[in-house]
Structure 1
């Protein structure tokens, strides 16, 4: 299978999936997700494929996330909202449980859906050019694609900080957060890809991975982040940030206050619930419930309009303040969907992934 937007290549015992929308920083759309899933399913039982490599075309990054402009236009056209997330979340689960090593080259921009595509893989490689993040509260959404599963397991409250403020991190930060495993210089990625055609994933990566990872900027901020984000209430977190003596904390307060109040409260609740969940599939089922309801709420369309369509960067959130988003409203977003559940956590899942 080969499309213009997804390129499939074989070299030795390597199957290589290349996202090929460089002008859009390889943003994912429905056809790309279908092509990636089909290739993974085919190669899972192909004895000629030992390792799968995932990379992005162009110089800007692996993947900037889902194609939110296309989703926005579907919403405006009245399309069925259920179709948007199901295939992507099933792909995320497939990647996390894949029976062969998947090496994800997280070079350049890796945001939103790009995290779901790469950070659930078995071998996750970052570089000095990497920027990772889940920017969804900026557009009236929540960190989905299992982002809350990953962020809830990051050290201390680092994941809470990034999730609520739509913050980003470096390659070194990604390793600290648990989103990545190896740091490789970007100039060495072509040689790494070539090595994967002839050697097992662990052996090939070991040739190029830095033994010492650069310092993480987030690690230096742990003291105030852990203190300010320790609460389970968004208003308390915001007050703690505003009252902190750390300039970076007050900057974080301004960032948080500018985000969709509904998204902030839902994200915090989703992160806290994800900490108590045992599997990625449970969190993806939760993401689906929230995603379906957020598509029908006003903030997602307004956030995309303000950030991507009109680009005025001045969204009018409804409700406009955290205080207006009461507990009952938050709980309603997490309610079960009955027969419309995604059902990943209740399905019989294949055996977990293996490393080379």
Structure 2
């Protein structure tokens, strides 16, 4: 998301309430990331396959070209009396876990290969970057999000976005895993470039960077009127109310009363008393599920998210009068927000009477509607029973 354009300006300019706007997110962000993840997972599965790990010894690999590539993956760039921390073999060990005989360290893998050569058994240990994501689960999440949420809602066929309709839905231009591995004397540019682009795309998709994912995060818990005003929509205009109702349905947000927390239907005669909340397995839910995976792909993404939340918290106190009535909530919230951006609110007759899990009673019972209307939507809340 360009720093010169605020989220609000972006949302209004792109008419985010129109489903066709989300096709941009699908084609420019999700599909390229899916193709990269699919290719990396295919390589990981290939390295673990019967063709490689299924053999008793490296020498048993029948394809001579593949055998040579595995030698490079195990020992490439290692030279006597030189630091091998920057070798291709170390790169493959750290990122894909490929090693000799499932030894617990890269150094032992090198020693084992130097002792037994092609007499080693190839293993892929789980202590690798690709397993930490975990890549296979990420591919499944992206596939479901693309296929069952966005494509179905937008009326788009997978073939229109470069993905096959067949089982497992590979990209049309799928890269054969073995072609990513270099032979002796070759530079691993193809694989290194793929991983670099994959990490960059993960950052580009992250909350606080990507306008679509940031918008979804922003809107996951938001009063209806605040949401409409954010988009410059008029709560007294029936056509604008219809726009927000369709957007809420598309994102998977349900409407609840801020007085008794009961579900209500949109449009409603009392929009100022309604809050929109995220529902399980919805489009928004599936998009926000990616956050944990993205942070494993590139740990700097977690810091981007934390900085955004901290900034939101630091600006909260200017919205509330008298501050002493609200301070207990935010002093509690600020201690937990980075690890878990959800705060439990206990209500009675439209007022907040307690916070947290386990529950902590509040000395002053403030109005839930006032609190939610003034709170930045970057902060999330749950209500017992919802």
Q: Same fold (TM over 0.5)?
A: no
The answer to which structure, 1 or 2, has the higher relative contact order (CA under 8 A, 6+ apart) is 1
Compute the TM-score of the two structures, normalised by the length of structure 1: 0.28
TM-score normalized by the length of structure 2: 0.27
